[in-house]
Structure 1
Amino acid sequence: MLFNSYEFLFAFLPVVLGVFMLLSLRGWWRLSGCWLGAASVFFYGYWVPEYVLLLLSSIAMNYLAGRVISNYVQAGQGRSARKVMIAGVAINLLLLGYYKYANFFADAIRSLSGLPLPGIDVVLPIGISFFTFTQIAFLVDCQEGKVKESDPVYYLLFVTYFPHLIAGPVLHHAEMMPQFARRETYRWIPENIVAGVAFFLLGLFKKVVLADGIQPYVGPVFDHGPSPDLVTAWGAALAYTLQLYFDFSGYSDMAVGLSRLFNVRLPFNFNSPYKANNISEFWRRWHMTLSRFLRDYLYIRLGGNRKGPVMRYMNLLVTMVLGGLWHGAGWTFVVWGGLHGLYLIVNHAWQAIFSSAGRAPSTAANGLSRLVTFIAVVVAWVFFRATTFSDAVRVLSGMAGLFEIVIPEPTEEGMRQFVITLVLLAVAWMAPNSQEVVARWIEARRGTGAPALADMAAARWSFVGAALVMVLLLAVINGTRGASEFIYFNF
């Protein structure tokens, strides 16, 4: 059930939100939480009913393991708590490894050994990377005594909460479970409804109009097409760079907006990453919760920067390679992660040299740095998008001008692609992002004075009416093309 599908927009969401508000207004808060948890499990089961048992078994195992670990910690039995934590993390990783990487490793062994090993037919459960990482962090925090909440209903909600379950953000128990336990979560808060609808509409527009609008210019070049000339290769690479940007940004906005409708604040996961001046800043802006997880539960655990610059660089490289492998079971993702690891190494080494000089970078230097960072990201995205290593090399060779350097004859379709690319680049580089737009709009509303209660109600209903019209319009546009999946659903 896609966020941009008719069944979600006009059936699932209205029913779930309506029943949630009805139960909440009657003061049945516990039942409201149970309803939201059941609806989230249904949402997952609508996708892949055969994996609902896997999801629920994972939740039960991790919740019970967390309780055992916490009890050991409270009893001062740290060694026993650590053993249970390691066992729990190992089981999570084994499940993730089997479902996500069994085919990849079998193919690698088959290629290296030449043995006629049988194929492994394993279907990847949607969202397994997200709910596995979420629960690994929970177990580690239990062992460190950081977990204070133990309600099974709120734990179920923390893992299955449908706005984030399929494609993130990667949640932390400390920022979610307390929200589900607060009574004010189960109230009618008009400002949250307005903000939630605004975020959702911005995200829906990004997905349906911007991301899906430029998507047709990607596949013909990347998917086993002919050797592209310089302009065609760069056109396709930029098209995918922008498609992925607005697709993931749109999903992130829609997730935040949907959650705000239920008075729950998800962490922002996307903050204008193409405005970054260096690759470190890019990763503080792109998939922010995954970057946080990789930093806190992998990079720092490997030693971080505590063992000198050489080990710091090795830890960065290992972290990013594993981060690339997390995105997909393929050598192209390994190379993509390795490239970003090398980018980070170069960036940290450069900053160490530059900071020792004691000079602040000029405006021109910042502009050049932003451009270099963007080009490096575009090059790496080629491996992220290509289905095979040879396809990636073919597109990169075209971008380097190794096939042909020509200016193609202007066509109507070519000019359309050129204009769309320029417009989307301008939006990504210069326009405020969604959280800035919504925050400014809400502040402007607050700054207009305190209107009468009737005027406020009329304004809210006017907004809701306009929002419904916009949803209908975007749904019609989306329906004419067929509702397309979000790219991060594959990870």
Structure 2
Amino acid sequence: MLFNSFAFIFGYLPVVVAVYFWLGRHNPTWAAGWLALASLVFYGYWDYRYIPLLLASIGFNYWVGLCIVQAVKPARKYWLVFAVTINLLLLAYFKYANFFLHTINTFGVTDFQPLDIILPIGISFYTFTQIAFLVDTYQGKVNEYRFIHYLLFVTYFPHLIAGPVLHHKEMMPQFADRKNYYPTGENITIGLSIFVIGLAKKILIADNIAPLANPVFSPDAHPQLIEAWIGALAYTFQLYFDFSAYSDMAIGLSRLFGVRLPLNFNSPYKAANISEFWRRWHMTLSRFLRDYLYIPLGGSRIGSFNRYRNLMATMLLGGLWHGAGWTFVIWGGLHGLYLVINHVWQFIASKTEIRTGVLWAIGSRLITFLAVLVAWVFFRAPDMRTAIDILGALVGLNGISLPRGFELYASWFQDLPVVPSFNGIQWIDFGGIGIPVLLSAMLIAWFAPNTQEIFYRYDPCLEKVPLPNSTISRYIPWSPSRIWSMVFALAFVACVLHMNRITEFLYFQF
């Protein structure tokens, strides 16, 4: 079931919310149990065959968590290592078994047949969420062990499929807070408003940009310069608005129940360097990789070389987490390299006097964005050959083709290093709304206030959102008013009218 479907918006969600608050008046435990059950139904709508796997994972990790609490100190670590190993083996089987077999076959060692495995949706997110729970239990950060609340913590449908990655200590106090079992006008109004923003990002922006990217990344496309740039930019902003949409919708849906989720997306394309990008993009995954991988590897405590090694290892594994393929490994490796270069540059800058100003700020953001775009090419491409072909096209190695109408001006191009052909633009449809939507998306991502800035007065998520520096956002803060109600009502109607084709969120595949 998709957040952007009629079945979810007009069927599932109203029933779940109504029954939740009705039960909350009588017994909060029943309400929590109902929400957990509804979350299992939401998950089972995709493929009911994997509900037993999800429940087995939940039961196993809850049991091990109790064992860790009850064990004496030496045995606590053994329980933790045992449970984390089982979780990673389960993830490795479903997500990486065929990748490893394919890699072995590629080197000609043998000829293994691929396994008949269907990847359970959301397995990466609920596995990482429970690994964090186990580590926090080992470190004494977990104080609440009611099974119903733990079941809800893992299966909670606003985050189950594509995040954010949750911490037990963040959610349990909210599930135990009795006032969250009673509806309030503030929570419902803010929740629905943020949900509509996410819905509009998905339906009106991301889905309308996708047709510009998909043909260019086809293995048989062989795009030229203009097509490659439009396709790469289209995917860069399609992924941005698709993931931003899911993050907003998750926060909005959760707020309906009085529960605040952690912030997971914060205008990453406004980042001035790659470290800031990762503090803004998929923030809960970045936090997980930092706390449970980078720091345990040694972090920055044992010298610069080891720091850079740990950064590279963390990003390579982060890339592999996103997908079982060498393109994802290269994507992670590029970001690891970017981070190393950024840390070296910051060290050099701290030892020298480097002037900064407006041009410096613009240039640093542009360089960061272009580096991210290059990495996204590997992230999106179906194979290495296609990725390299598109990168070559971005610098003109595949030639330049202009619309046939420009042939009248062929003499203007004669002195250029690369003389274009006039065979037309094969893979991009300039007659649709894709190009105008792409241009609008770029302006919104770079210059408009984000959802958290618009709602900063009402603390939309767990983190305290500071007063934004953006001048624009100071003039359009959200408030419960007729004007805002009309804006969101019109946006919702526009989304409903364009819900004739329902598409999955891109992060569902990870």
Q: TM-score, normalised by structure 1?
A: 0.92
What count of residue pairs does the alignment treat as equivalent?
469
The aligned counterpart of 1:273 is 268
The aligned counterpart of 1:236 is 231
The whole-number CA distance in structure 2 between the counterparts of 1:290 and 1:78 is 29
The aligned counterpart of 1:53 is 52
Q: CA deviation at 1:116?
A: 1.9
The reply to whether residue 386 of structure 1 matches residue 386 of structure 2 is: no
The whole-number CA distance in structure 1 between the counterparts of 2:140 and 2:10 is 43
Q: Would the alpha carbon gap of residues 55 and 403 (structure 1) be closer, same or farther in structure 2, given more than 3 Å must change?
A: same
The reply to whether residue 325 of structure 1 matches residue 333 of structure 2 is: no
> Over residues 30-71 of structure 1, what are the superposed CA-to-partner deviations in whole Å (9 max), with x where a residue is unaligned?
111110010001110111100000000000000010011011
Whether contact under 8 Å (1:163, 1:255) holds in the other structure is: yes
More divergent stretch after superposition (239-248 vs 222-231)? 222-231
Q: CA deviation at 1:413?
A: 3.6
The aligned counterpart of 1:140 is 135
Seq. identity, %: 53
Whether contact under 8 Å (1:5, 1:475) holds in the other structure is: no
Gaps of 5+ in 2: 406-424, 461-479
The reply to whether residue 490 of structure 1 matches residue 509 of structure 2 is: yes
Q: CA deviation at 1:472?
A: 4.3
> Over residues 295-350 of structure 1, what are the superposed CA-to-partner deviations in whole Å (9 max), with x where a residue is unaligned?
00000010000110000000000000000000000000000000000000000000
Q: CA deviation at 1:185?
A: 1.1
The reply to whether residue 184 of structure 1 matches residue 203 of structure 2 is: no
The reply to whether residue 307 of structure 1 matches residue 328 of structure 2 is: no
State the one-letter code of the partner of 1:474. Answer: C
Aligned counterparts, 1:83-94, within 5 A? 83-94=78-89
The whole-number CA distance in structure 2 between the counterparts of 1:20 and 1:248 is 28
SS at match of 1:301: coil
Aligned counterparts, 1:151-170, within 5 A? 151-170=146-165
The whole-number CA distance in structure 1 between the counterparts of 2:485 and 2:361 is 42
The whole-number CA distance in structure 2 between the counterparts of 1:51 and 1:442 is 36
The reply to whether residue 16 of structure 1 matches residue 37 of structure 2 is: no
Whether contact under 8 Å (2:200, 2:492) holds in the other structure is: no
> Over residues 181-208 of structure 1, what are the superposed CA-to-partner deviations in whole Å (9 max), with x where a residue is unaligned?
1111111111111110111000000000
Aligned counterparts, 1:334-345, within 5 A? 334-345=329-340
The aligned counterpart of 1:70 is 69
Q: CA deviation at 1:407?
A: 3.9
The whole-number CA distance in structure 1 between the counterparts of 2:149 and 2:196 is 28
Counterpart among 217, 222, 238 of residue 222 in structure 1: 217
State the one-letter code of the partner of 1:405. Answer: I
Whether contact under 8 Å (2:200, 2:495) holds in the other structure is: yes
The whole-number CA distance in structure 1 between the counterparts of 2:195 and 2:316 is 33
The aligned counterpart of 2:351 is 356
Whether contact under 8 Å (1:194, 1:463) holds in the other structure is: no
The whole-number CA distance in structure 1 between the counterparts of 2:77 and 2:459 is 47
Whether contact under 8 Å (2:247, 2:265) holds in the other structure is: yes
The aligned counterpart of 2:496 is 475
State the one-letter code of the partner of 2:28. Answer: W
The aligned counterpart of 2:476 is none
The whole-number CA distance in structure 1 between the counterparts of 2:379 and 2:167 is 27
The whole-number CA distance in structure 1 between the counterparts of 2:437 and 2:118 is 36
State the one-letter code of the partner of 1:421. Answer: L
The whole-number CA distance in structure 1 between the counterparts of 2:141 and 2:194 is 32
Q: TM-score, normalised by structure 2?
A: 0.89
Q: CA deviation at 1:422?
A: 2.0
State the one-letter code of the partner of 2:228. Answer: A
SS at match of 2:499: helix
SS at match of 1:295: helix
Counterpart among 438, 441, 448 of residue 455 in structure 2: 438
Structure whose residues are more often helix by fraction: 1
Whether contact under 8 Å (1:194, 1:460) holds in the other structure is: no
Counterpart among 145, 148, 169 of residue 174 in structure 1: 169
The whole-number CA distance in structure 1 between the counterparts of 2:491 and 2:450 is 19
Counterpart among 279, 284, 293 of residue 284 in structure 1: 279
